[in-house]
C-alpha cells in the first residue's frame, strides 16, 4: 500500500449513476497501475470495491470506498462514490475534497439523463469534472447520437477528446483528437497506429469541432481558427487543461473498464491535467495546514476513524488538531486506506487521503485545523431534506439506552440520516434520503450494534374539528362530605374556517363566573380539546363562555377547569367531529419521459395535480406541483424512484388540513384507538 511518493498527489472521485461501472473503473485503474495483482483470469486478485456486507448483499456500492495507486511518479487516491441518490449525502461530503470528479457514464444514449443530477451538483460545487463513457464494448448506434443525448445533461459543454473507432459493430480503439493519433485497444497500454485513411475526414471534423468548443473560452484561439491558422498542440493542451480546471468544459473520454480499454489513456490525461490539491483547498476555504473530513466510520478494532484529505502541510501521527468548534484533539494514529484494509503510517503528505484515529468528535464536512485556529468551510454543505422515515423502537425496553447510543453513532457517520422525537405521536423517527437509505441504516443498527428493533410507519398527525355549532351547559358538582366542588358554565361552540386554530372568548357579565376563574374554564376547554371523540387533537373552533353559576363556598379554580372540560366534551358529543388530515404541497422533479407516470402515481395516492411544467434550467425534466395527503407520502419516494430510474426527488411542505371521510377516516380512527406500542 504505497502512500508516500515523490511526485504529485491527486484525489479523484468516481461519480455517476449506479451500474455505470464506477467500481469496475476503480478496479481497472488499480490493475492497470499494478496497485493490486491480477488473477489468472484477468480479474483483480484483491477485492477493493464494495466490500461491506450491505454492499455485497445489494450488489452495488452503498458507501464511499477509497483506494490508492501510483502511476509513473504520481500518487492517486480514488473515492468511489455510490451512484444511488439514496446515498447522495455521503457523496455531498466527499466530492468537495477531490481535485477532479470522473463522471462514469453508460454508452447507452437512453441512460444519458441519469447523469444530470450528478453533473448539476458538481457544477454547483464548482468541482472540475471529466466524463468517462464506459461500456464502449456494448456501444451501438452512432457516436453523434450518444453525444446529442448527453449534451443537455451538462451546462458546461461536453468536449469529446477522442472518437472511438469500430470494426463492424465492435469498438477496437480510438483516435485522440488533441494528439491526433490513433490507438488500438489492448488491455494495458493501447497500441499506436496510423490514423486509418478512411477516418481522416471524420477525425478532422471532430477535431475542428473540439477546437471550436474550446475557442469559446479563448479569443486568441478563435482568431486563429477564423484565420485558418493551425494552433500548436501545446496551445490546445493548455486550453483543454485550463478550461477543464476552471469547470468551463467537460472533456469526454471513452473506454471499457471491464476490459481495461481506454484506462491507460485516461491515466495519461489525469497525470497531465488533474488540478493540484491547492485548488481544492482554496475551494473548501482552507487557510493553512489542515485536513478536510470526507467521512467518518467506526471500524472494527480501530474505533472511530475520520477519513480526511490533508492540505497545506504534512500531518504527523501525533499532531494536534482543532475542530471547527474549537475543541482540541490529538491524532491517535494515521492509516493508509485500500478498500477495506488499513495500514498504520507515521505521516501523511499534502493531498493524501488517510484515516485519522481517535478524533472522537470529528464529522464529515469539517476542517480539522493544524494551526491551532479553528477553520470553517467556505460554503456550508448542502442541507438535504429527508424523503423517507420510519418510526423505530427497541424490541426490549432494556435496549433503549443501547439504541440511542447506536443511533447517535450511525448519524455521526452519515449526516444524511436524522432522528426526531415526535412528542405528539410518541414516536422516534429515523429519516433519510429514501427507503433504501433508511432500511440500510436499520440493518446496520442490527448488525453492528446488535440492537433488536421494531419499525413501523410514522403516525400521521390527524386533527378533528366540530361539524356544527352548539350551546352546552355543564355543571360540575361534588358534595361528598367536607369541602364540596361546584362550577356551572355555559359555552357556545362554533366551527371556524380551516387553519384558524382555537379561539376562546368570554361574554360573562355581572361576574356570574368570577373574572379570575375564566382562564380556568379556558384551560379546561383546552384539556378537553387535546383528544376529541375520534382520538385526535381538536382544532378550528371558537368557544365562547356565555354564562355560569358560582357557589360561595364550593367554587374554585379547579372546579371551573373541570366544568370547562366537561362542557366541551359534552358539546362535542352533540356536534360530532370530523377528521382532518394534513395535506402537503409537493414539488416533484422527474425526467420528462416518466412525468405522466408520476402524475398518475400521485393521483392514485389521492394527490391533486396543480401544475406540470418544464423544470427550469434542466432540459428533459419536468416539475410537477401537487397537493398530497401526508399519509400518502410514506412510500412515494420508492415508487417515484422506481418510475424515474432512481432519479426522481421531491420537496414536501405542510400546506393545509382537509376533511377525511369514509373508509380511510375509519381506518385512521381505529388505528389511533389501539393501545400505544401496538403496530
Cβ-based nearer residue to ligand GDP, 12 or 334? 12
Told to check if 647 binds ligand GDP by CB under 6 A, we report: no
Cβ-based nearer residue to ligand GDP, 24 or 550? 24
Q: How far is CA 621 from CA 14, 99, 242, 352, 581, in A?
A: 24, 29, 31, 39, 31
Q: Which of 66, 83, 522, 578 binds ligand GDP (CB under 6 A)?
A: 83
Cβ-based nearer residue to ligand GDP, 135 or 459? 135
Q: Which of 184, 193, 258, 512 binds ligand GDP (CB under 6 A)?
A: 258
Q: Return the range that interacts with ligand GDP (CB under 6 A); candidates 132-140, 311-319, 562-570, 585-593.
A: 132-140
Q: What is the rounded distance in angstroms from the CA atom of residue 373 to the CA atom of residue 125?
A: 25
Residues in contact with 117: Cβ distance below 8 Å, sequence separation at least 6, in sequence order: 85, 88, 647, 649
Q: What is the rounded distance in angstroms from the CA atom of residue 184 to the CA atom of residue 232?
A: 25
Residue carrying C-alpha cell 447522495: 88
User: Closest approach of Cβ 88 to ligand GDP, in Å?
Assistant: 14
Residues in contact with 356: Cβ distance below 8 Å, sequence separation at least 6, in sequence order: 291, 305, 306, 307, 308, 315, 321, 331, 332, 333, 334, 335, 362, 368
Site map (CB under 6 A) of ligand GDP, residues 513-532, x = contact: --------------------
Q: Which of 3, 5, 12, 22 binds ligand GDP (CB under 6 A)?
A: 22
Q: Return the range that interacts with ligand GDP (CB under 6 A); candidates 93-101, 131-139, 153-161, 625-633.
A: 131-139
Residue whose C-alpha is closest to residue 99's, from 135, 66, 130: 130
Q: Return the range that interacts with ligand GDP (CB under 6 A); candidates 19-27, 166-174, 276-284, 615-623.
A: 19-27
User: Closest approach of Cβ 57 to ligand GDP, in Å?
Assistant: 14
Neighbours of 561 (CB within 10 A): 22
Told to check if 256 binds ligand GDP by CB under 6 A, we report: yes
Strand partners, 158: 250
Cβ-based nearer residue to ligand GDP, 23 or 89? 23
Q: What is the rounded distance in angstroms from the CA atom of residue 107 to the CA atom of residue 134?
A: 6
Distance linking the first and last C-alpha atoms of the chain: 51
Cβ-based nearer residue to ligand GDP, 17 or 629? 17
Cβ-based nearer residue to ligand GDP, 13 or 284? 13
- CA dihedral sign of residues 654, 659, 664, 665: positive
User: Closest approach of Cβ 24 to ligand GDP, in Å?
Assistant: 3
Cβ-based nearer residue to ligand GDP, 23 or 213? 23
Q: What is the rounded distance in angstroms from the CA atom of residue 476 to the CA atom of residue 556?
A: 11
Q: Which of 5, 9, 13, 18 binds ligand GDP (CB under 6 A)?
A: 18
Identify the three-state secondary structure at position 424: coil
Residue whose C-alpha is closest to residue 27's, from 74, 62, 73, 61: 61
Q: What is the rounded distance in angstroms from the CA atom of residue 308 to the CA atom of residue 351?
A: 10
Told to check if 417 binds ligand GDP by CB under 6 A, we report: no
Residue carrying C-alpha cell 420528462: 592
Residues 349-368 that bind ligand GDP (CB under 6 A): none
User: Closest approach of Cβ 443 to ligand GDP, in Å?
Assistant: 19
Q: What is the rounded distance in angstroms from the CA atom of residue 567 to the CA atom of residue 495?
A: 16
Q: What is the rounded distance in angstroms from the CA atom of residue 370 to the CA atom of residue 314?
A: 10
Q: Return the range that interacts with ligand GDP (CB under 6 A); candidates 253-261, 289-297, 433-441, 555-563.
A: 253-261
Cβ-based nearer residue to ligand GDP, 56 or 344? 56
Residues in contact with 423: Cβ distance below 8 Å, sequence separation at least 6, in sequence order: none
Residues across the chain: 679
Cβ-based nearer residue to ligand GDP, 19 or 485? 19
Residue whose C-alpha is closest to residue 477's, from 544, 557, 551: 551
Q: Is residue 213 within 8 Å of 159, Cβ to Cβ?
A: yes
Question: Exposed/middle/buried for 604, CB within 10 Å: 0-12, 13-18, 19+?
Answer: exposed
Cβ-based nearer residue to ligand GDP, 263 or 394? 263
Cβ-based nearer residue to ligand GDP, 78 or 543? 78
User: Closest approach of Cβ 257 to ligand GDP, in Å?
Assistant: 4
Residues 45-74 that bind ligand GDP (CB under 6 A): 60-61
Told to check if 84 binds ligand GDP by CB under 6 A, we report: no
Can you list the alpha helix ranges (DSSP code H) found in 74-179? 88-94, 116-125, 143-150
Told to check if 24 binds ligand GDP by CB under 6 A, we report: yes
Q: Return the range that interacts with ligand GDP (CB under 6 A); candidates 255-263, 365-373, 530-538, 636-644.
A: 255-263
User: Closest approach of Cβ 287 to ligand GDP, in Å?
Assistant: 35
User: Closest approach of Cβ 30 to ligand GDP, in Å?
Assistant: 13
Q: Return the range that interacts with ligand GDP (CB under 6 A); candidates 130-138, 588-596, 649-657, 666-674.
A: 130-138
Q: Which of 54, 70, 121, 137 binds ligand GDP (CB under 6 A)?
A: 137
Q: What is the rounded distance in angstroms from the CA atom of residue 284 to the CA atom of residue 98?
A: 10
Site map (CB under 6 A) of ligand GDP, residues 209-248, x = contact: ----------------------------------------
Q: Is residue 344 within 8 Å of 52, Cβ to Cβ?
A: no
Binding-residue total with ligand GDP (CB under 6 A): 18
Q: What angle do CA 4, 10, 12 make, to 5 degrees?
A: 125
Told to check if 265 binds ligand GDP by CB under 6 A, we report: no
Q: Which of 111, 135, 295, 444 binds ligand GDP (CB under 6 A)?
A: 135
Residue carrying C-alpha cell 455485497: 56
Told to check if 20 binds ligand GDP by CB under 6 A, we report: yes
Residue whose C-alpha is closest to residue 16's, from 89, 119, 86: 119
How much helix, strand and coil, in percent to the nearest 5, is found in the chain? 35, 30, 35
Cβ-based nearer residue to ligand GDP, 257 or 647? 257
Strand partners, 101: 13, 129
Cβ-based nearer residue to ligand GDP, 3 or 153? 153
Q: Which of 138, 232, 376, 379 binds ligand GDP (CB under 6 A)?
A: 138
Helices (H) and strands (E) in the chain, counts: 17, 34
Site map (CB under 6 A) of ligand GDP, residues 88-127, x = contact: ----------------x-----------------------
Site map (CB under 6 A) of ligand GDP, residues 452-491, x = contact: ----------------------------------------
Cβ-based nearer residue to ligand GDP, 190 or 386? 190
Told to check if 164 binds ligand GDP by CB under 6 A, we report: no
Q: Which of 33, 134, 433, 546 binds ligand GDP (CB under 6 A)?
A: 134
Cβ-based nearer residue to ligand GDP, 12 or 392? 12
Sheet containing 388-394: order of strands: 418-422, 427-432, 388-394, 453-456
Q: Which residues bind ligand GDP (CB under 6 A)?
A: 18-24, 60-61, 83, 104, 134-135, 137-138, 256-258
Amino acid at each position: 500500500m504505497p502512500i508516500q511518493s515523490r511526485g504529485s498527489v491527486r484525489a479523484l472521485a468516481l461519480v455517476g449513476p449506479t451500474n455505470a461501472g464506477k467500481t469496475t473503473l476503480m478496479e481497472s485503474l488499480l490493475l492497470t497501475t499494478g496497485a493490486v495483482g491480477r488473477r489468472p483470469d484477468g480479474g483483480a486478485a484483491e477485492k477493493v470495491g464494495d466490500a461491506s456486507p450491505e454492499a455485497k448483499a445489494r450488489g452495488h456500492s452503498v458507501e464511499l470506498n477509497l483506494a490508492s495507486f501510483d502511476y509513473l511518479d504520481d500518487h492517486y487516491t480514488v473515492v468511489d462514490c455510490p451512484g444511488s441518490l439514496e446515498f447522495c449525502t455521503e457523496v455531498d461530503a466527499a466530492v468537495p475534497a477531490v481535485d477532479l470528479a470522473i463522471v462514469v457514464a453508460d454508452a447507452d444514449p437512453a441512460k444519458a439523463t441519469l447523469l444530470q443530477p450528478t453533473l448539476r451538483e458538481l457544477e454547483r460545487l464548482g468541482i472540475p469534472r471529466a466524463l468517462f463513457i464506459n461500456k464502449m464494448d456494448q456501444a451501438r448506434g452512432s457516436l453523434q447520437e450518444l453525444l446529442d443525448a448527453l449534451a443537455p445533461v451538462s451546462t458546461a459543454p461536453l468536449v469529446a477528446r477522442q472518437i472511438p473507432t469500430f470494426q463492424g459493430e465492435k469498438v477496437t480503439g480510438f483516435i485522440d483528437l488533441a494528439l491526433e493519433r490513433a490507438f488500438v485497444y489492448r488491455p494495458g497500454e493501447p497500441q499506436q497506429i496510423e490514423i486509418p485513411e478512411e477516418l481522416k475526414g471524420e477525425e478532422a471534423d471532430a477535431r475542428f469541432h473540439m477546437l471550436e468548443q474550446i475557442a469559446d473560452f479563448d479569443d486568441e484561439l478563435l482568431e486563429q481558427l477564423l484565420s485558418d491558422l493551425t494552433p500548436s498542440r501545446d496551445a490546445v493542451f493548455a486550453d483543454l487543461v485550463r478550461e477543464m480546471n476552471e469547470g468551463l468544459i467537460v472533456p469526454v473520454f471513452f473506454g471499457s473498464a471491464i476490459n481495461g480499454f481506454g484506462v491507460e489513456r485516461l491515466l495519461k490525461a489525469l497525470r497531465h491535467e488533474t488540478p493540484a490539491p491547492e485548488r481544492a483547498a482554496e475551494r473548501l476555504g482552507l487557510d493553512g495546514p489542515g485536513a478536510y473530513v470526507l467521512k467518518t466510520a467506526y471500524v472494527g478494532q480501530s474505533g472511530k476513524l475520520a477519513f480526511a484529505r490533508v492540505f497545506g502541510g504534512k500531518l504527523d501521527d501525533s499532531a494536534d488538531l482543532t475542530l471547527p468548534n474549537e475543541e482540541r484533539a490529538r491524532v491517535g494514529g494515521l492509516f493508509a486506506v485500500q478498500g477495506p484494509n488499513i495500514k498504520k503510517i507515521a505521516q501523511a503528505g499534502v493531498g493524501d487521503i488517510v484515516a485519522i484515529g481517535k478524533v472522537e468528535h470529528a464529522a464529515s464536512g469539517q476542517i480539522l485545523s493544524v494551526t491551532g485556529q479553528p477553520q470553517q468551510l467556505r460554503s456550508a454543505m448542502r442541507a438535504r431534506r429527508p424523503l423517507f422515515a420510519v418510526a423505530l423502537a427497541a424490541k426490549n425496553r432494556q435496549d433503549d439506552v443501547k439504541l440511542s447510543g447506536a443511533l447517535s453513532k450511525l448519524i455521526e457517520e452519515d449526516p444524511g440520516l436524522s432522528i426526531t422525537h415526535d412528542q405528539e405521536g410518541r414516536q422516534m423517527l429515523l429519516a433519510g434520503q429514501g427507503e433504501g437509505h433508511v432500511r440500510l441504516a436499520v440493518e446496520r443498527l442490527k448488525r453492528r450494534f446488535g440492537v433488536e428493533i421494531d419499525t413501523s410507519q410514522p403516525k400521521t398527525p390527524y386533527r378533528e374539528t366540530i361539524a356544527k355549532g352548539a350551546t352546552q351547559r355543564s355543571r360540575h358538582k361534588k358534595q361528598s362530605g367536607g369541602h364540596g366542588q361546584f362550577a356551572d358554565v355555559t359555552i357556545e361552540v362554533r366551527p371556524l374556517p380551516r387553519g384558524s386554530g382555537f379561539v376562546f372568548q368570554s361574554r360573562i357579565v355581572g361576574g356570574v363566573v368570577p373574572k379570575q376563574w375564566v382562564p380556568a374554564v379556558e384551560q379546561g376547554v383546552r384539556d378537553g380539546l387535546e383528544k376529541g371523540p375520534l382520538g385526535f387533537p381538536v382544532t378550528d373552533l371558537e368557544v365562547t363562555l356565555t354564562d355560569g353559576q358560582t357557589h360561595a363556598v364550593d367554587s374554585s379554580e379547579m372546579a371551573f377547569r373541570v366544568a370547562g372540560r366537561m362542557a366541551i366534551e359534552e358539546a362535542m358529543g352533540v356536534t360530532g367531529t370530523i377528521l382532518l388530515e394534513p395535506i402537503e404541497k409537493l414539488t416533484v422533479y422527474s425526467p420528462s419521459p416518466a412525468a405522466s407516470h408520476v402524475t398518475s402515481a400521485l393521483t392514485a395516492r389521492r394527490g391533486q395535480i396543480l401544475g406540470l411544467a418544464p423544470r427550469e434550467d434542466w432540459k428533459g425534466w419536468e416539475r410537477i406541483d401537487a397537493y398530497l395527503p401526508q399519509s400518502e407520502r410514506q412510500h412515494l419516494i420508492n415508487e417515484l424512484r422506481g418510475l424515474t430510474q432512481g432519479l426522481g426527488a421531491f420537496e414536501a411542505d405542510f400546506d393545509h388540513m382537509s376533511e377525511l371521510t369514509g373508509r380511510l377516516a375509519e381506518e385512521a380512527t381505529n388505528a389511533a384507538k389501539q393501545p400505544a406500542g401496538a403496530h
